């Protein structure tokens, strides 16, 4: 039996309501404990807001995801692992929002958080090869005894899942955040795309919880959007971006390993992040320290306002999300190549025109 419309709308609506109602309380809390991003106290080139804004929006988003999941999803080892990982990340994010932790220390904690759901059995066993066939990640295996029972670690599967999750966390943090409303819109659309894709396979009973979880994540970020859209009253902060990446990465694994789908949907921030890292390394800078060279910075420099930049990201995410629903593995690969060329060309054109204007 497929889930009916009521079963789908209820978790989406409740997660939206939780986050929408909790966010004003988080704004008050952030102001009381000093999690405020005041541009007057910082001279970092990546900062583009002009007035003090509370950070820590990930706290209300986390609460919405966790509370709604506990209501609508079976409480098994997988859900516990997912929520424990989220808890580690939201604590890390809030501490960073307050104290600006060294990026390499943050990265270490991200790996720790990603390892928690993997330890409960969430992993990538097989992948479709864009050039044909299946990539088997179940071998080699490491066997060991635990509490009198034989357990095994699928080495390639777990390593790939670990790096995949951390990779997506950093894509969302580096390439999908920066302008009012940019992140929650991109994440909500991406999660909804995974929900729709899983709904196509809803005859498989194992996909029902994935659909529900995807709708919960989509609803949570959509509930945060009214408070973050221009002019923003609170930022998602590091906490909001890394739990976004973590959540989407987990969904892509659970939804019969739709890794390629998520890469297509997040094509714009993914390619922007890739070009940013390459640019920083080639210029002798650390790849993890922020600057003002992201695509959203260049669009602003080209004359776009903050709302238009957000609409640009949302629009392309919607288009790529719709396209991804109808592509096979090989066409997803070629679509990603197309996005790489498009974003690369756009960045070069914006950079060239920026230098031309300055002359």
**Is 33 a member of any domain?**
yes
Residue 357 covered by a domain: no
Residue 274 domain-assigned (yes or no) = no
- Decide if 121 contacts 78 (C-beta within 8 A): yes
Question: What confidence category does residue 357 fall into, taking pLDDT thresholds of 50, 70 and 90?
Answer: very low
According to DSSP H, which parts of the chain are helical? 5-33, 58-72, 77-99, 103-119, 155-175, 182-199, 208-228, 237-254, 259-265, 267-282, 295-301, 306-324, 329-358
Say what the pTM is. 0.91
Is the model's pLDDT at 203 over the cut of 70? Answer: no
CB 229 within 8 A of CB 181: yes
Give the C-alpha separation, 59 to 237, whole Å. Answer: 10
Q: What is the pLDDT of residues 23-68, one digit of tens each?
A: 999 999 999 998 988 777 765 556 677 788 999 999 999 999 999 9
pLDDT tops 90 at residue 89:
yes
Q: Is residue 310 part of a domain?
A: no
Give the residue with greater pLDDT, 126 vs 15.
Answer: 15
Count up the domains in the chain and report the number. 1
Q: Which pLDDT score is estimated for 359?
A: 45
For 310-322, the pLDDT digits (tens) are: 999 999 999 999 9
Residue 150 CB partners (closer than 8 Å, separation 6+): 143, 144
Residue 249 CA to its chain's centroid (Å): 7
In a domain? residue 293: no
User: Residue 207 sits in which domain range?
Assistant: 5-259
Q: Is residue 308 part of a domain?
A: no
Termini Cα distance of the chain: 65
Q: Is residue 299 part of a domain?
A: no
Residue 151: the pLDDT is: 67
Q: Is there a domain that residue 322 lies in?
A: no
d(CA 301, CA 357) in angstroms, rounded, equals 10
């Amino acid at each position: 039996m497929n889930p009916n419309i009521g079963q789908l709308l209820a978790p989406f609506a409740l997660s939206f309501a939780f986050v929408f109602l909790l966010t004003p309380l988080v704004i008050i809390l952030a102001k009381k404990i000093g999690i405020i991003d005041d541009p007057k106290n910082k001279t970092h080139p990546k900062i583009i807001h002009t007035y003090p804004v509370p950070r820590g929006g990930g706290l209300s988003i986390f609460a919405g995801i966790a509370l709604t999941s506990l209501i609508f999803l079976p409480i098994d080892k997988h859900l516990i692992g997912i929520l424990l990982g989220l808890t580690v990340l939201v604590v890390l994010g809030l501490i960073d929002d307050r104290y600006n932790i060294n990026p390499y220390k943050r990265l270490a904690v991200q790996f720790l958080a990603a390892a928690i759901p993997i330890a409960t059995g969430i992993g990538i066993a097989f992948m479709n090869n864009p050039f044909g066939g299946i990539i088997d990640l179940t071998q080699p295996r490491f066997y060991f005894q635990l509490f009198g029972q034989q357990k095994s670690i699928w080495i390639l599967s777990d390593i790939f899942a670990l790096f995949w999750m951390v990779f997506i966390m950093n894509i969302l943090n580096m390439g999908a955040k920066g302008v009012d409303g940019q992140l929650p819109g991109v994440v909500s659309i991406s999660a909804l795309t995974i929900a729709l894709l899983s709904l196509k396979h809803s005859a498989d009973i194992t996909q029902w919880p994935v659909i529900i979880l995807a709708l919960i994540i989509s609803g949570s970020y959509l509930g945060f959007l009214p408070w973050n859209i221009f002019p923003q009253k609170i930022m998602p902060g590091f906490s909001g971006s890394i739990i976004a990446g973590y959540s989407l990465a987990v969904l892509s694994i659970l939804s019969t390993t739709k890794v390629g789908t998520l890469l297509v949907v997040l094509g714009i921030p993914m390619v922007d992040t890739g070009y940013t890292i390459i640019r920083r390394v080639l210029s002798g800078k650390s790849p993890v320290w922020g600057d003002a060279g992201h695509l959203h910075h260049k669009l602003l420099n080209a004359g776009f306002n903050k709302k238009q930049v957000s609409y640009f990201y949302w629009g392309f995410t919607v288009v790529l999300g719709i396209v991804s629903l109808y592509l096979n593995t090989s066409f997803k690969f070629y679509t990603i190549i197309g996005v790489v060329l498009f974003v690369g060309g756009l960045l070069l054109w914006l950079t060239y025109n920026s230098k031309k204007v300055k002359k």
